[in-house]
Amino acid sequence: MSNLFYQAQGRRPVLEQARGVYMWDKDGKRYLDGSSGAMVCNIGHSNPEVLTAMRRQMEKSTFGYRLHFETEASERLAQKLAGLMPGDLNRVFFVSGGSEAVESATKLARQYALASEQGSRWKVISRAPSYHGCTLGALALTGYTPLTAPFAPMMQDMPKIPAPRAYLDGLDADDPATGHYYADMLEAKILAEGPESVLAFIVEPVGGASTGALVPPNGYMERIREICTRYGVLLIMDEVMTGAGRTGSFLGSDHWQAQPDIVVMSKGLGAGYMPLGAVIADERLVVPILAQGGFAHGFTYAGNPLACAAGLAVVNTLEMNGLCDNAAKMGETLLARLNGLMQKHELIGDVRGKGLLTAFEFMADRDSKAPLPARLNAHQRFVDLAYAKGLIIYSRRTRDGTEGDHILVCPPLIVNAEHIDEIIEGLDASLVQFSQDIHS
Ligand code: PLP
């Protein structure tokens, strides 16, 4: 018996080592990491420059409490990130993960409201489905019932609007009228709640695990920005999954004219080398907070020098190797190849994504968009089939979290055309077997 407990799913083999896009278990079996862990390992495993930077930092210090010392590592990473942000987003607050980053961003927004005589604002609108983290505050913003329902009495219920799933609603995602239709739901919600009570709107620029790489329809992001500005609502971009190059630009939101007030990052920033997250806020939000005694918030490990040294080396690696561009280019190839699989395999009802954040969704019938029966547990069975063939992918229930199945295909941003061939071969073989299994 193991002393660990995570999920009810069966135990996995023991990891021995990982290099680039590959991982090996104790028995020597090789796996292609087609999901970058949980969309984390953007620069691949065991990158030598990052390991060297970490070793150098370790020899200097591995911890310096933020109330006792500044550290060069956190200062340098903050400066680097500020240079990569749009507009005046130049104030950085480090944390150790995505949920901590979301919690911190919402508390920062609230403290800004208090410091700027807008103390009536406290509600944070989000979308359903969405995922913003598993701590109680971040969970209150999450629209994914399997994860939220058990804890509902312990959370402050926050208002939700539907995610813009044009493909399910039979709308044309290329038509800006579609984007406006969904974005206007935000305005309606702000008005229904009372604009003076609404603090912020939090959004994943390209959906992550809950929607399966949902790309917003044309016109959506720009309109969201306009609405937030009109009602004095802060726009928080949850870039935990989309940040650090995943969608083909440093931030997912860089693809649109929709400059956020606050950005939250994690996953690809530490890229699996160290637990790291960041809240990057517009200067104008932070100044009044500092003038009134500072941010009443902080974690013991915030700004840890080893994590920040790793993060800086990760961001430098992304830049020096042109990995955002590679994600854009390889993402197009991957999306085209997934569309090819959809032509071959009836079970695939939709293919979507941006850069190397891509997904496909199983459907029982493409015309009606009916999902596969929930009892098939298709998403987990498919992941297990691919895993047995040495391909790691990531899956979730889609729709409202109780039915529908999507598979995320999100390899490290260092992938080349041969890796994509290998991924597609693994998916193709798994699809053939999956189809036989569920029809037998
Ligand atoms: N926000 C988004 C968009 C995520 O995808 C995740 C994790 O999957 C989180 C927040 C929470 O991050 P963490 O698991 O590091 O707490």
ipTM of the complex: 0.99
| Spacing, Cα 15 to ligand 1 middle (Å) | 23
| Topology alike, domains 15-46+322-439 and 49-320 | no
| Spacing, Cα 163 to ligand 1 middle (Å) | 17
Q: Find how far residue 415's CA is from the centre of its chain.
A: 19
Report d(CA 345, CA 192) in Å as an integer: 44
Cα separations in angstroms, 428 against 332, 377, 431: 18, 19, 5
| Spacing, Cα 97 to ligand 1 middle (Å) | 7
Please tell us whether the domain made up of 15-46+322-439 is placed in CATH 3.90.1150.10. yes
Please tell us whether the domain made up of 49-320 is placed in CATH 3.40.1010.10. no
Burial letters 116-138, b for 16+ CB under 10 A, else e: beeeebbbbbbbbbbbbbeeebb
Q: Which ligand 1 atom sits closest to the C-alpha of 133?
A: 11
Q: Which ligand 1 atom sits closest to the C-alpha of 204?
A: 3
| Spacing, Cα 241 to ligand 1 middle (Å) | 7
Q: Which of 148, 214, 267, 299 to mutate to test the pocket of ligand 1 (most atoms within 8 A of CB)?
A: 267
Q: Which one-letter DSSP state was computed for residue 264?
A: E
- Pick from 145, 148, 180, 183: which is nearest to 162 by CA? 183
| Spacing, Cα 140 to ligand 1 middle (Å) | 13
CB 209 within 8 A of CB 396: yes
Domain boundaries, the chain: 15-46+322-439, 49-320
| Spacing, Cα 144 to ligand 1 middle (Å) | 13
- Written as one letter, the residue type at 276 is L
Q: Which two tokens stand for residue 28?
A: 């020597």
Q: Is the pTM of this model over 0.90?
A: yes
Q: Which ligand 1 atom sits closest to the C-alpha of 135?
A: 16
Q: Which one-letter DSSP state was computed for residue 360?
A: E
| Spacing, Cα 209 to ligand 1 middle (Å) | 9
Within 10 Å of residue 440's Cβ, how many Cβ atoms? 5
pLDDT in 10s for each residue of the chain, 440 residues: 678 877 666 678 999 999 999 999 999 999 999 999 999 999 999 999 999 999 999 999 999 998 899 999 999 999 999 999 999 999 999 999 999 999 999 999 999 999 999 999 999 999 999 999 999 999 999 999 999 999 999 999 899 999 999 999 999 999 999 999 999 999 999 999 999 999 999 999 999 999 999 999 999 999 999 999 999 999 999 999 999 999 999 999 999 999 999 999 999 999 999 999 999 999 999 999 999 999 999 999 999 999 999 999 999 999 999 999 999 999 999 999 999 999 999 999 999 999 999 999 999 999 999 999 999 999 999 999 999 999 999 999 887 777 899 999 999 999 999 999 999 999 999 999 999 998 88
Q: Which of 39, 132, 135, 204 to mutate to test the pocket of ligand 1 (most atoms within 8 A of CB)?
A: 132
Task: Map tokens 């680097």 to a residue.
Answer: 80
Q: How many helices (H) and strands (E) does the chain have?
A: 15, 15
**Alpha helices (runs of H) in 156-282, residue ranges in sequence order:** 166-169, 176-193, 220-230, 267-270
Asked whether the CA dihedral 161, 167, 168, 170 is positive or negative, the reply is positive
Q: Which ligand 1 atom sits closest to the C-alpha of 209?
A: 5
| Spacing, Cα 368 to ligand 1 middle (Å) | 32
Q: Whose CA is nearest to atom 13 of ligand 1?
A: 98
Report d(CA 369, CA 355) in Å as an integer: 25
| Ligand 1 first shell, C-beta below 6 A | 97-99, 102, 131-133, 204, 208-209, 238, 240-241, 266
Q: Whose CA is nearest to atom 14 of ligand 1?
A: 98
Q: Which ligand 1 atom sits closest to the C-alpha of 239?
A: 3
54: Cβ contacts below 8 Å, ≥ 6 apart: 273, 274, 306, 309, 310, 313
Q: Whose CA is nearest to atom 15 of ligand 1?
A: 98
The residues with which 407 forms a beta bridge, in sequence order, are: 360, 395
| Spacing, Cα 248 to ligand 1 middle (Å) | 19
| Spacing, Cα 345 to ligand 1 middle (Å) | 31
